[in-house]
Structure 1
Amino acid sequence: MSQSMQQQQPPFGHAPAQPLRNGLGTAALVLGIIGTLSGLIPFFFWLAGILGLIALILGLSGRGRVKRGEAANKGVTTTGAVLGLVALILSVVGAVITFKAVDEAVDEINKATNGSSASKKPGGDKPLEKAEEGEEVTGKALEAGDGAEYDDGLTVTVSAAKPYTPDEFAVGHTKGNKAYKVTVVIENTGKEKFDANLVTADARAGKDGVEAEQIFDGKLSAPIDGTILPGKKVTADWAFDAPADAKNLTVEVSPGFEYNATVWELKL
C-alpha cells in the first residue's frame, strides 16, 4: 500500500509544467488584421475602431503573459497590438472623411431644397452659335467685351481678338495660318469661393466653323487655376490658330462642369 502511494506521487521538487497560454496574442493579431483592413474603407471607421481597441488591449495583455513566462508568442502579440493601434488611427481618419462627405452632401441637398443653388446659366442678347457636338451651351452669343453673368455671382468676360505672333517654340500654330489672342477675365462677385481649375476655352474660326487650335508658347500667361475668392478676379490669355482668310473667331468658355458654356462672336 505504501509502495503504491509512493509511485503515484511526483518526484520531489518537480511541479507539473503549465501549458502555454498564447490565445490572447493570436486573438490580438487576428482582430488587428481585420481592424486595419476595415480602416482602409472610410465608411467602416466604426468597425475599425472597435476591433482596433480590442486588439490593442489583447495585445498588451498577451505581452504581459509573455513577460511572466505564461506565453511564448511575443512577436504575435506585439504585431497584434501594433495593428490594433494602426486600426484606431485609420478609424479616426475614416470618421473625419465620412463626416465631411456627409456634411458636404447635406449642404448640397439644402441648397437644392432652398433654391439657393445657382442654375449657372449665362445671359446675353444675340442668337447663340451652335456648340460642338456633345457640349451644352445655353444663353446667347456675346460680343467682344461683353460679360456672361452667372446667377451664382460669377462673371466671365472675353476681349476682342488681337493678332498674335507666337514664339519660335510655339505648339499649335500652323505655318500659313494667323494667330489671335483673347484675354479672359473671371470675376467672382458671389459669396462663395470659386475653383478655377476646370476653366476651359475653345474656339472655331471662319464661316465653316473649323476648329481653331489652341497655341501654347512661352509668352502667354499661365492658364487660370487655383481659387478665386469672393470679390476677386483673375485674368489670363488664350491664343488660337485660325485660317488666314477667317473673318470671325467664335470663342467658347466654360467655367466648369456645373456651368453652361458661353459663346463670344469676335470679328477678325
Structure 2
Amino acid sequence: MTTPADTPDSPPWAPPGPRPPAGPEAPRAEVPDSEVPGSEATPAGESRAEAAPAVTAHGAGVPQGPEAAVGSGMPPGPAMAYPAQAQAPAPFPGSPYGPGVPQGPGVPGVGPYGVPAARTGLGVGALVIGVVGLLFGIVPFLFWLGGFMGVLALVLGIVGYGRANRGEATDRGQAVAGIVLGAVTIVVAAAWLVVLIVAAQAVERIDERVREKEGASAEPFAPDGTARPEPSPEPTETETTPSTLAFGRTHTYEDGVKVTVSVPKPYRPDGFAAGYEKGDTALRVTITIVNGSDEALDVTTALPDARDAEGARASTIFDGSRATEMFRGTVLPGKQVKAGYAFALPADADGELQIELAPKLLAYEPVIWTGPVK
C-alpha cells in the first residue's frame, strides 16, 4: 500500500498516511548482559529495558519506525521520511567574497568588499571651468564672465578636494588646480573692474573741467561781478625775434626757454659710420637748450632737421664715436642740456646748411639756423 509520503508527486515533508494493521509480533530472545560486549551487568530484579531508555537513530526516547510502537499500545507504521537539509550553494569560481557572491565587476556600482566606486567629476570640472574662466578673464569686456566661472571653479574645487580627502574621489590634483585657477581668475576679473571704474571716473572729471571752461568762456564776468581774467597765451616766439638765425645765435621764447645752435664744424666719421658715403661733406653741430621757464621741459621730441640751401635733406651720421647724441628726458627749470648732431651733405650741395629745430614738438614754433659751410 502506498501512502502520500511514498507518492512521487508528494513533497518530502508531507505527513505520513494511515498505517497498516500490525501483524503478530515475533518472539524476541533475551541475551544476558554478560554476553554483550562493552556492557555492564544489570542488577538483579531489573531488566535491561527498565535500566536504560531505548536509543534510536533519532535520539533517546524518540520512536523510530515500526519497532517503536512495540509495547506502546499504538500500531506500528512505516518509517517516517524526513526532508534532506538543503546544501549551501557552491561559491563562484575565483570569487573572493564568499559563496554565492559574484565578483565586483558583476555588480555595477560596487567595488571590492562592497565599497562604492570613487567619483572624479568635481575635480575635473573645476579644472576645465578654471581654464576657460581664466581665458575669458583676460579679455577686457568679458572679464565678468570669467569672474563668474572663477567662483564656480573655486567652489567645485573645494568640494572635490573634500571628497578626495575622505577617499570618495581620486582627483585631488585636478581639484587643487581648479582652486588655484579659480582664485587667479577672480583676481584678474577684479583688477579689470577696478581699471574700468578708475577710467570712468577720470573721464567724468575731464568732462566736468571741459564744461567749466566752456561756461567760463561764455560768461565774461564771475559770479561776484568782477571781470574774469583772460587766459594766458601759449608760449610763442616774440615778433621782434626773426624766424631765421645765423649759426651761433640764441633764440629766446616768451616763457624763457632758450635754444642755441653752434657753428658747424667738419667731422671725420669712422669706418663703421652709417648715413655717410665717400665724398660727402660731414659736419657736426652742438645744440644747447636752456629751460628758463617755471615748468619742466620734455626735450625728447627736439629733433633737428638738416637741409641744404635747395631743400635737399641731409642725412644724419651714426658711428662708434658717438657722432650723434640725441636729446633724452626732461630739463628742470633753470637747467640746460646739450646734444651733438652730425650731418652729411651730398658732394654737389651748394655749400650752405640749414637746421630747423623746436625745443618741444607742437608746443613751440620751430626756428631755422643757417650759414655757409666749408
TM bin, normalised by shorter chain, reads 0.5 to 0.7
In the alignment, what sits opposite 1:161? 263
Give the 5 Å matches for 1:71-150. 71-91=169-189, 94=192, 98=196, 114=213, 122-123=236-237, 125=239, 140-144=243-247, 145-147=249-251, 149=253
Residue pair 2:237, 2:365 contacting (<8 A) in 1 also: no
CA distance in 2: counterparts of 1:233 and 1:111, whole angstroms? 34
328, 333, 336: which one pairs with 1:233? 336
Aligned residue for 1:147, secondary structure, equals: strand
SS at match of 1:200: coil
3-state secondary structure, aligned to 2:168: coil
Match of 2:167 among 54, 58, 69: 69
Q: Does 1:200 align with 2:303?
A: yes
For residues 3-42 of structure 1, the aligned pairs below 5 Å read 17=116, 20=119, 22-23=121-122, 25-42=123-140
Give the match's secondary structure for 1:29. helix
In 2, the alpha carbon distance for the partners of 1:66 and 1:154 equals 75
Q: Distance in 2 between matches of 1:112 and 1:251?
A: 38
Two-structure CA RMSD over aligned residues (Å): 4.2
The Cα of 1:205 is off from its aligned counterpart by 0.9
> Is 1:162–1:182's contact at 8 Å kept on the other side of the alignment?
yes
Letter in 2 for 1:76: Q
Once the two structures are superposed, residues 52-71 of structure 1 have per-residue CA deviations (whole angstroms, 9 ceiling, x without a partner) of 34423332222111111233
Greater mean alpha carbon deviation, residues 68-77 or residues 248-257: 248-257
Instruction: Please say if residues 248 and 265 of structure 1, whose CA atoms lie closer than 8 Å, have aligned partners that are also in contact.
Output: no
Identity of aligned residues (%): 29
Secondary structure (helix, strand or coil) at the match of 1:60 reads: helix
For 2:168 and 2:367, the matched residues in 1 are separated by 79
Residue deviations 1:127-159, cap 9 Å, x none? 99xxxxxxxxxxx44554333648xx6946141
Note if 1:181 corresponds to 2:279: no
Gap regions ≥5 residues in structure 1: 1-10, 129-139
1:237 CA drift (Å)? 0.9
What is the CA–CA distance in structure 1 between the aligned matches of 2:204 and 2:251, rounded to whole Å?
A: 33
Instruction: Please name the residue that 2:318 is paired with.
Output: 216
> Is contact 2:352-2:371 (8 Å) kept?
yes
Deviates more, 1:230-239 or 1:94-103: 94-103
Deviation at 1:240, TM superposition (A): 1.1
1:246 aligns with 2:360: no
Q: Is the 8 A contact 2:237 2:252 kept in 1?
A: yes
Q: 1:155 to 1:32 in 2, by over 3 A?
A: farther
Counterpart for residue 265 of structure 1: 369
Query: What do the CA deviations read for 1:74-104 (whole angstroms, capped 9, x no partner)?
Result: 3332221221233234345545655666677
Within the alignment, does 1:52 sit opposite 2:133 as a pair? no
Kept in 1: contact 2:296–2:330 (CA 8 A): no
CA distance in 2, matches of 1:75, 1:64: 12
How many residues are matched? 241
Cα distance change on mapping 1:123 and 1:101 into 2, 3 Å: farther
Q: Residues 185-224 of structure 1: CA distance to partner in whole angstroms, max 9, x if unpaired?
A: 3445353563x44442221012x11111111231436321
- Looking at structure 2, the residues matched to 44 and 154 of structure 1 have their Cα atoms a distance apart, in angstroms, of 51
Structure 2 residues not aligned, in runs of 5+:
1-100, 102-112, 215-231
Distance across 2 between alignment mates of 1:104 and 1:247: 54
- Taking a change above 3 Å as real, the CA distance of residues 239 and 19 of structure 1, as seen in their structure-2 partners, is closer
Q: Which has the higher helix share?
A: 1
The answer to whether the Cα contact below 8 Å between 1:158 and 1:184 also exists between their aligned partners in 2 is: yes
Contact 2:154 2:178 in 1 (8 A): yes
In the alignment, the residues of structure 1 paired with residue 258 and residue 142 of structure 2 have an alpha-carbon distance, to the nearest angstrom, of: 43
Query: Which stretch has the larger CA shift, 101-110 or 140-149?
Result: 101-110
Determine if contact 1:166/1:179 at 8 Å carries over to the other structure.
Answer: yes
CA distance in 1, matches of 2:289, 2:205: 25
Amino acid paired to 2:268: P
Q: Which structure would you say has the larger RCO, counting Cα contacts within 8 Å and 6 or more residues apart?
A: 1
